[in-house]
């Protein structure tokens, strides 16, 4: 019996739409880093911050941790992040 391969990719129903970054990456920028509370999510964001700091020397960083991976971030935390940051990256760990 010959080997058969199945392509698991679904047929796209709509064309992909590229998105535009809202923040200019060539000047001062405040980057929020949100850990979700899983083990090692903070350690992972330590590495992310180091890589981003090397690529974006004018950036400053603010750290957040929602503390519990089983619940969404609170509205208060999301509002604070939106007010304090130009962009944000969220991460999880295990």
Task: Determine, yes or no, domain membership for 16.
Answer: no
Q: For 7-39, what is each residue's pLDDT tens digit?
A: 888 888 888 888 776 788 888 999 999 999 888
Task: Determine, yes or no, domain membership for 53.
Answer: yes
Task: Determine, yes or no, domain membership for 48.
Answer: yes
Q: Is 7 strand, coil or helix?
A: coil
Task: Determine, yes or no, domain membership for 1.
Answer: no
Residue 49, pLDDT > 80, answer: yes
What b/e string do you get for 15-54 counting C-beta neighbours within 10 Å, with b at 16 or more? eeeeeeeeeeeeeebebbbbbbbeeebbebbeeebeebee
pTM of the model: 0.74
Task: Determine, yes or no, domain membership for 43.
Answer: yes
Q: Which domain holds residue 83?
A: 35-91
Task: Determine, yes or no, domain membership for 9.
Answer: no
Residue 33 has what pLDDT? 97
* Domain total in the chain: 1
């Amino acid at each position: 019996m010959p080997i058969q391969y199945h392509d698991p990719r679904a047929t796209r129903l709509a064309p992909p739409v590229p998105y535009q970054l809202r923040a200019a990456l060539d000047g001062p920028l405040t980057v929020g880093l949100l850990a979700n509370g899983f083990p090692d999510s903070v350690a992972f964001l330590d590495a992310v911050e180091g890589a981003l700091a090397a690529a974006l020397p004018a950036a400053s960083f603010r750290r957040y941790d929602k503390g519990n991976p089983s619940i969404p971030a609170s509205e208060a935390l999301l509002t604070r992040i939106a007010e304090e940051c130009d962009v944000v990256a969220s991460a999880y760990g295990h």
